[in-house]
């Protein structure tokens, strides 16, 4: 079969022949229809992710551990848990029986690869209990997940949406009510957070410095009742650590949640169905750069820009 084959840690996958996967007992071979290349896949291939060891144990290997494909009986499914060295950037891959779920009719497989990012955005409701009319701050709004979070906030009835990013051109493309550029001095950023108003819910893809400064902005400088702000931790593109001064929690009313709060098979199922319904109705749109598998080498190096997801189709 044809596959994107990685020969060394930190290398670039090449389009070449690779032996077809042979299923062991309890496994099934999947014909791959689409696979998204995300930051996490590049981090794994570069040996910079905690899961790198598992996926890079045998070289050469095929990157990307989930995708959309067709079972031998013709059912189109979203799959995960590929058996390394087989990955999703190939014509075929192999997974344990049951490590997949059907994709509803009428959903393009390339779109289906990006739906997880919209489900993640729904944690502003599942984790933080967003109510219609509330103000949402999307920290890191110019990426794929951030742009979807703006759409999701709108669909959930947010009253006001404030978006942060570090590029004015991209910020201007967003359908937010106000934008904040984080690539300014700490003082200027704190002032911008202050001036953009109170926030009920923050969905945070950045963490690190911008969120430390947000906490400073949320901390009252007089004795006053704090306005509760529920922050949902989702990503960490600006830094994995955060200094939280004691008074930032004690006096601000800030509540810090992980995106996994309140997640259960039922709430995941509801979030998935909600995203499917919005997608079918055309209310939620996904920005995708489709690339044939044969172009993986240049596409991997080029990446995707301006909030678009690179989706590879064999
Ligand atoms: N996609 C998902 O479903 C999902 C699920 C859970 C968690 N996450 C996490 O959420 C984060 C974003 O994912 P994504 O898929 O949206 O990534 P993405 O499309 O690559 O977007 C990343 C965004 O972060 C910005 N950025 C990068 N470094 C920054 C920095 N130092 N300071 C400020 N902004 C910075 C980039 O801005 P520029 O355009 O200016 O470079 C870009 O807008 C990642 O940490 C990811 O692991 C994603």
Query: What pLDDT, on the 0 to 100 scale, is given for residue 194?
Result: 95
Gap from CA of 277 to ligand 1 centroid (Å): 25
Closest of 89, 42, 12, 44 to residue 297, by C-alpha? 12
What is the average pLDDT across 233-260? 91
What is the average pLDDT across 203-227? 89
**Residue 166: exposed, middle, or buried by beta-carbon count in 10 A (0-12, 13-18, 19+)?**
middle
Query: How far is 81 from 104, CA to CA, in rounded Å?
Result: 20
Query: What pLDDT, on the 0 to 100 scale, is given for residue 191?
Result: 97
User: Which pLDDT tens digit goes with each residue over 43-79?
Assistant: 999 998 888 888 888 899 999 999 999 999 999 999 9
Q: Position of tokens 């690190």?
A: 208
Strand partners, 269: none
Half-sphere exposure of 69 (CA within 13 A, CB side): 26
Query: What pLDDT, on the 0 to 100 scale, is given for residue 40?
Result: 86
Write the DSSP string, 261-301.
Answer: TT--HHHHHHHHHHHHHHHHTTSS---EEEEEGGGHHHHHH
- The answer to whether 169 and 307 are in contact (CB under 8 A) is no
Answer yes or no: is pLDDT of 225 > 90.
no
Domains and CATH numbers, the chain: 2-113+287-313 (3.90.180.10), 117-258 (3.40.50.720)
Strand partners, 200: none
User: Which pLDDT tens digit goes with each residue over 142-188?
Assistant: 999 999 999 999 999 999 999 999 999 999 999 999 999 999 999 99
Q: Position of tokens 């709430």?
A: 267
Gap from CA of 239 to ligand 1 centroid (Å): 11
Which residues sit with their C-beta closer than 6 Å to ligand 1? 38-40, 116-117, 120, 140, 142-146, 165-167, 170, 182, 205-206, 234-238
What is the average pLDDT across 128-144? 97
Closest of 39, 26, 12, 22 to residue 93, by C-alpha? 22
Gap from CA of 204 to ligand 1 centroid (Å): 10
Instruction: Give the single-character DSSP code of 228.
Output: P
Closest of 37, 107, 109, 106 to residue 70, by C-alpha? 109
Q: Position of tokens 């291939």?
A: 45
Query: What pLDDT, on the 0 to 100 scale, is given for residue 226?
Result: 61
User: Which pLDDT tens digit goes with each residue over 101-114?
Assistant: 899 888 999 999 99
User: Which pLDDT tens digit goes with each residue over 12-46?
Assistant: 999 999 999 999 999 999 999 999 999 889 999 99
Instruction: Give the single-character DSSP code of 65.
Output: S
Instruction: Calculate the average pLDDT of the chain.
Output: 93
């Amino acid at each position: 079969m044809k596959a994107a084959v990685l020969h060394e840690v930190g290398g670039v996958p090449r389009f070449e022949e690779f032996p077809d996967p042979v299923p062991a007992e309890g496994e099934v071979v999947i014909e791959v229809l689409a696979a998204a290349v995300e930051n996490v896949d590049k981090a794994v291939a570069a040996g910079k992710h905690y899961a790198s060891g598992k996926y890079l144990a045998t070289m050469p290997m095929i990157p990307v551990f989930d995708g959309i494909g067709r079972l031998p009986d013709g059912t189109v499914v979203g799959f995960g848990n590929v058996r390394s060295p087989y990955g999703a950037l190939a014509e075929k891959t192999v997974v344990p029986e049951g490590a997949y779920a059907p994709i509803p009719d009428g959903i393009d497989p390339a779109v289906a690869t990006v739906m997880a990012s919209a489900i993640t955005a729904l944690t502003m409701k599942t984790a933080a209990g967003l109510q219609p009319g509330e103000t949402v701050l999307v920290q890191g709004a110019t990426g794929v997940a951030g742009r979807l979070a703006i759409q999701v906030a709108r669909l959930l009835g947010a009253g006001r949406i404030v978006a942060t990013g570090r590029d004015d051109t991209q910020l201007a493309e967003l359908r937010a009510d106000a934008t904040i550029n984080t690539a300014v001095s700490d003082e200027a950023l704190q002032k911008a957070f202050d001036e953009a108003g109170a926030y009920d819910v923050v969905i945070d893809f950045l963490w690190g410095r911008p969120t430390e400064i947000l906490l400073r902005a949320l901390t009252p400088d007089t004795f006053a009742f704090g306005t509760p702000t529920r922050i949902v931790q989702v990503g960490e593109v600006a830094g994995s650590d955060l200094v939280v001064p004691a008074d930032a929690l004690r006096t601000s009313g800030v509540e810090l949640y992980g995106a996994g709060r309140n997640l259960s098979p039922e709430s995941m199922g509801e979030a998935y169905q909600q995203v499917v319904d919005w997608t079918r109705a055309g209310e939620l749109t996904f920005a995708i750069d489709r690339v044939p598998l044969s172009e993986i080498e240049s596409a991997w190096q080029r990446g995707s820009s301006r909030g678009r997801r690179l989706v590879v189709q064999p």
